[in-house]
């Protein structure tokens, strides 16, 4: 590397020596150069692999040069989704996460030194400087990667942005640093995805020991932002947001939170229709009857965020939450694209993009067009449930840049089929209104839910944890719980709703509750109701139910609003499902039994233990909107 260029970086001495030891260092000047690195020049197809003792040259992934971008496929099905156990903490700062010493029986020092030694022994490295959070943020960061992992570098640049070589400022001092060392997955970690977080006084280091970007380039950078927020008293919400423009030209902003697979990306998608234009709201899985909705004019969708929203702890002057996107690109999961015409706008954008894209787990072929519905097979007849495309937000139609005020925060839950004979927690109606205190509880327990497509293990009702971003946080659960409660207290004029996806009782609904709910809320202009317009849900954890919901002049069936009214569920099946949900809350909220929890938080949790009605949550933390 040019020593003059290296002098612009403020680095730890061992990191500096690592970079000085390498014969060739590339700091990309533009995306075209990164694409050239992605395709290794003009190669139509090549293998990304590394020498591994005992295995020889081990191929981790293949990269095919398609007409519309790079089709990246991993040789192991295991590597096509994020392993929720990937995060390990190497430092001694406060944490509730797995410690490196506990999991591996030694400190990280030797492995860290070996990782830097491996990087120093490469003929060529790529160093990518970027700003975590947003291009104008205060969190300079960098990635160090082997040159043959160009697709990984380009993917991170599309997700987080990058600083071109000629624009690198003097005294660039990273607060976040990612080191990509793929072969250590085999030599040190028994083939598992492992990302080691080492929070030093000046730099949050991430040693990324695998080539799947989910736990590192995507969620690893999220971890850096969460850590900075803990120090400075702010949060990065795991959420999407959209500005809706109604057919009557009114604007309304909804921010949707939830665990992976909870409907964040779907919030900004157009509602899916049948060939005749109707909307299939629900399908009765027992009696095989369908419920349709006719709605020609829907709201315009102006996307704001897809997965990560920087939240200002101080509200807007009118008391509403203020957010902005924390990313420069979106990691879109396209598992629902199973055939042509599922979502024409995204299909068109990906088939004829303004510039080549990075596709993951898509069955592309050299020289052909990678198609969203051609998913890589994990095994014969079983498509990978986590196909992805990285979409720079600048290419998204009607995208909103800058800060927005949030009218409603919704929370999504993947729910299973539920009947009297097979009771489960799929008792959440199409739309529930939550008191702020109850909404805070849902964010503490953050159910990962039914058939999660994004991660490896999703059996039964499990928790993704505080804010639904807990898998990416390196600190203490109590710290995040208090920050989320403070955020809610500081933004009293933003209201809360709860939406299910996949199933409502015995009905399969997919993401229709979310899509129909956003239309209803935006057209109505608020979720503030008179007392007679709401009824307490039979399960107090679900807040309030709507006695009726009319969209475009059409009434939704009562059984989709109050699930106990479904004949195949009934009160007996509903109450058993409510017990499953209540026991789950008690189990997860026990983790917050700490003297450090905010006093109001303790009172709210006590209401769950008492099985208190929704009105008690309103009394503890009233909404002003």
- State phi, psi for 508 to the nearest 5 degrees: -85, 125
| Nearest residue to 427 via CA among 520, 543, 527, 535 | 543
Strand 388-392, strand 357-360: pairing: antiparallel
User: What is the spatial distance between Cα 361 and Cα 542, in angstroms, rounded to a whole number?
Assistant: 37
| DSSP states of 522-549 | HHHT-----GGG-EE-SSGGG-EE-S--
Residue 373: per-residue pLDDT: 97
Q: Where are the domains of the chain?
A: 3-61+80-232, 257-262+269-293+407-464+491-620
Looking at residues 100-123, what average pLDDT do you find? 97
CA 141 to CA 204: how far, in whole Å? 9
Tokens of 265: 């990306």
Q: Is 126 helix (H, G, I), strand (E, B) or coil?
A: strand
Cα-based distances in Å from 91 to 14, 333, 429, 546? 17, 33, 44, 49
- Answer for the pair 573, 420: CB distance below 8 angstroms, yes or no: yes
143 has a pLDDT exceeding 60: yes
pLDDT at position 118, please? 98
pLDDT exceeds 50 at position 457: no
The sign of the CA dihedral 37, 42, 45, 49 is negative
- Domain 3-61+80-232 shares a fold with domain 257-262+269-293+407-464+491-620: no
pLDDT score of 452? 63
Residues constituting the chain = 625
State the alpha helices, DSSP H only, in 218-343.
Answer: 219-232, 264-267
Asked whether the predicted pLDDT for residue 2 surpasses 80, the reply is no
Q: What confidence category does residue 459 fall into, taking pLDDT thresholds of 50, 70 and 90?
A: low
Residues 287-315 have a mean pLDDT of 94
Identify the pLDDT of residue 260.
Answer: 80
pLDDT score recorded for residue 455: 55
Q: Which run of H or of E encompasses 182?
A: none
Higher pLDDT, 57 or 41: 57
Residues 318-321: contacts with CB under 8 Å, at least 24 apart: 318/405, 318/493, 319/491, 319/492, 319/493, 319/494, 319/624, 319/625, 320/405, 320/406, 320/407, 320/491, 320/493, 320/494, 321/255, 321/405, 321/406, 321/409, 321/487, 321/491, 321/494
Residue-wise pLDDT for 14-23, tens only, equals: 999 999 999 9
Q: Would you call 178 helix, strand, or coil by DSSP?
A: strand
614-622 average pLDDT score: 94
pLDDT of residue 261: 82
Class of domain 257-262+269-293+407-464+491-620: alpha beta
Reported as a pLDDT band with limits 50, 70 and 90, residue 40 is confident
Is the pLDDT assigned to residue 182 strictly greater than 70?
A: yes
- pLDDT digits over 209-232, tens only? 999 999 999 999 999 999 999 999
Q: How many Cβ atoms sit within 10 Å of the Cβ of residue 318? A: 11
Question: What average pLDDT does the segment 29-57 reach?
Answer: 93
What is the second-level CATH architecture of the domain 3-61+80-232? 3-Layer(aba) Sandwich (3.40)
| pLDDT band for position 567 (cuts 50, 70, 90) | very high
Q: Which two tokens stand for residue 391?
A: 């979409």
Work out the angle at residue 351's Cα, subtended by the Cα atoms of residues 349 and 353, and round it to the nearest 5 degrees: 50
Q: Are 44 and 367 in contact, with CB atoms under 8 Å apart?
A: yes
Look up residue 137 and give its two tokens.
């943020």
Instruction: For residue 284, name the pLDDT band (cuts at 50, 70, 90).
Output: very high
> What's the rounded Cα separation, in Å, for the pair 215 and 80?
11
* Whole-angstrom distance, CA of residue 50 vs CA of residue 57: 5
Least confident of 9-13, 257-261, 610-614: 257-261
Residue 88: pLDDT over 50: yes
């Amino acid at each position: 590397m040019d020593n003059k260029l290296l002098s612009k970086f403020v680095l730890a001495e061992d990191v500096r020596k690592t970079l000085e030891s390498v014969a060739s260092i590339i700091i990309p000047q533009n995306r075209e150069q990164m694409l050239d690195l992605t395709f290794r020049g003009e190669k139509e197809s090549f293998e990304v692999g590394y020498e591994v003792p005992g295995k020889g040259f081990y191929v981790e992934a293949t990269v095919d040069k398609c007409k519309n971008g790079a089709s990246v496929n991993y040789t192991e099905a295991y590597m096509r989704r994020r392993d929720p156990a990937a995060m390990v903490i190497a430092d001694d700062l406060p944490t509730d996460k797995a410690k490196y010493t506990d999991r591996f029986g030694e400190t990280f020092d030797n492995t860290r030194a070996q990782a830097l030694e491996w990087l120093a022994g490469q003929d060529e490295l790529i160093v990518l400087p970027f700003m975590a959070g947003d291009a104008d943020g205060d969190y300079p960061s960098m990635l160090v990667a082997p040159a043959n992992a160009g697709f990984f570098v380009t993917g991170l640049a599309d997700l987080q942005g990058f600083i071109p070589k000629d624009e690198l400022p003097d005294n660039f001092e990273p607060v976040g640093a990612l080191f990509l060392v793929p072969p250590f997955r085999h030599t040190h970690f028994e083939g598992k995805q492992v990302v080691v977080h080492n929070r030093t006084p000046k730099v949050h280091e991430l040693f990324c020991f695998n080539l799947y970007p989910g736990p590192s380039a995507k969620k690893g950078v999220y971890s850096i932002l969460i850590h900075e927020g803990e120090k400075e008293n702010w949060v990065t919400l795991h959420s999407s947001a959209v500005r809706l423009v109604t057919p009557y030209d009114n604007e309304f902003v909804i921010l949707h939170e939830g665990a992976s697979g909870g409907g964040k990306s779907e919030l900004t998608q157009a509602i899916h229709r049948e060939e005749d234009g109707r909307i299939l709201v629900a399908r009765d899985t027992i009696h095989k009857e369908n419920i349709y909705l006719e709605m020609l004019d829907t709201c315009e969708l102006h996307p704001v965020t897809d997965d990560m929203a920087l939240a200002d702890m101080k509200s807007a002057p009118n008391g509403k939450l203020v957010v902005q996107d924390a990313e420069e690109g979106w990691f879109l999961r396209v598992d629902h694209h199973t055939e042509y015409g599922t979502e024409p706008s995204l299909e068109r954008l990906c088939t004829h993009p303004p510039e080549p894209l990075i596709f993951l787990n898509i069955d592309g072929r050299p020289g052909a067009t990678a198609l969203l519905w051609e998913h890589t097979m994990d095994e014969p007849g079983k498509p990978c449930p986590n196909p992805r495309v990285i979409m720079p937000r600048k290419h998204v139609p009607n995208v909103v840049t800058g800060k927005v005020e949030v009218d409603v925060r919704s929370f999504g839950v993947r729910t299973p089929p539920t009947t009297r004979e097979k009771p489960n927690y799929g008792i959440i109606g199409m739309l529930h209104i939550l008191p702020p205190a109850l909404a805070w509880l849902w964010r503490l327990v953050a159910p990962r839910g039914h058939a999660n497509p994004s991660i490896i293990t999703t059996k039964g009702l499990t928790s993704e944890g505080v804010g639904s971003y807990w898998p990416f946080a390196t600190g203490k659960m109590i710290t995040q719980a208090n920050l989320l409660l403070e955020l809610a207290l500081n933004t009293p004029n933003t209201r809360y709703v709860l939406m299910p996806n996949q199933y409502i009782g015995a009905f399969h609904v997919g993401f229709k509750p979310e899509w129909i709910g956003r239309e209803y809320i935006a057209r109505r202009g608020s979720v503030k109701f008179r007392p007679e317009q709401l009824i307490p849900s039979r399960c107090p954890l679900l807040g309030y139910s709507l006695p009726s919901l009319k969209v475009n002049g059409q009434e939704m069936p009562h059984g989709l609003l109050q699930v106990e009214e479904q004949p195949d569920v009934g009160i007996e099946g509903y109450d058993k499902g409510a017990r499953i949900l209540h026991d789950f809350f008690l189990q997860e909220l026990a983790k917050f039994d700490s003297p450090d929890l905010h006093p109001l938080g303790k009172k709210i949790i006590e209401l769950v233990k008492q099985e208190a009605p929704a009105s008690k949550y309103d009394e503890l933390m009233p909404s002003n909107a």
